[in-house]
Amino acid sequence: MNVYDAIMTRRSTRRFQTKAVPDEMLVKLIQAGRFAPSGGNSQSTHFFVITDPDFLAELADLVQQAFSKMEVTEGMYASLVSSITRSKKGGYVFHYNCPALIVTANQKDYGNNIADCACALENMMILGNEMDLGTCWINQLKWLNEDPALLEKFRSCGLKENERIYGALAVGFAASENGMPERMPLERKGNEVTLI
Ligand SMILES: Cc1cc2nc3c(=O)[nH]c(=O)nc-3n(C[C@H](O)[C@H](O)[C@H](O)COP(=O)(O)O)c2cc1C
What string of DSSP letters covers 65-132?
Answer: HHHHT----TT--HHHHHHHHHHHHS---TTTT-SEEEEEEEETT-TTHHHHHHHHHHHHHHHHHHTT
Cβ of residue 135 lying under 6 Å from some atom of ligand 1:
no
> What is the pLDDT of the chain when averaged over all its residues?
98
Cβ of residue 15 lying under 6 Å from some atom of ligand 1:
no
- Please report, to the nearest 10 degrees, the dihedral formed by the alpha carbons of residues 127, 96, 55, 129 taken in order: -10
How would residue 174 be classed by pLDDT, with cut points 50, 70 and 90?
very high
| Cα distance between the two ends of the chain | 33
Q: Which residue has its alpha carbon closest to ligand 1 atom 30?
A: 137
In a domain, 196, yes or no: no
| Structural domain for 40, as ranges | 3-52+93-172
In a domain, 188, yes or no: no
In a domain, 156, yes or no: yes
CA 143 – ligand 1 centroid, Å: 14
In a domain, 194, yes or no: no
Cβ of residue 36 lying under 6 Å from some atom of ligand 1:
no
**pLDDT tens-digit series, residues 26-36:** 999 999 999 99
Cβ of residue 80 lying under 6 Å from some atom of ligand 1:
no
The reported pLDDT for the residue numbered 90 is 96
Cβ of residue 7 lying under 6 Å from some atom of ligand 1:
no
**pLDDT tens-digit series, residues 75-116:** 999 999 999 999 999 999 999 999 999 999 999 999 999 999
pTM, two decimals, is 0.97
In a domain, 181, yes or no: no
The reported pLDDT for the residue numbered 49 is 98
In a domain, 32, yes or no: yes
In a domain, 81, yes or no: no
In a domain, 40, yes or no: yes
Determine the atom of ligand 1 nearest the C-alpha atom of 83.
8
CA 139 – ligand 1 centroid, Å: 8
How would residue 24 be classed by pLDDT, with cut points 50, 70 and 90?
very high
The backbone torsions φ and ψ at residue 84, rounded to the nearest 5 degrees and listed phi first, read: -65, -50
Number of domains in the chain: 1
CATH of the domain at 137: 3.40.109.10
Cβ of residue 97 lying under 6 Å from some atom of ligand 1:
no
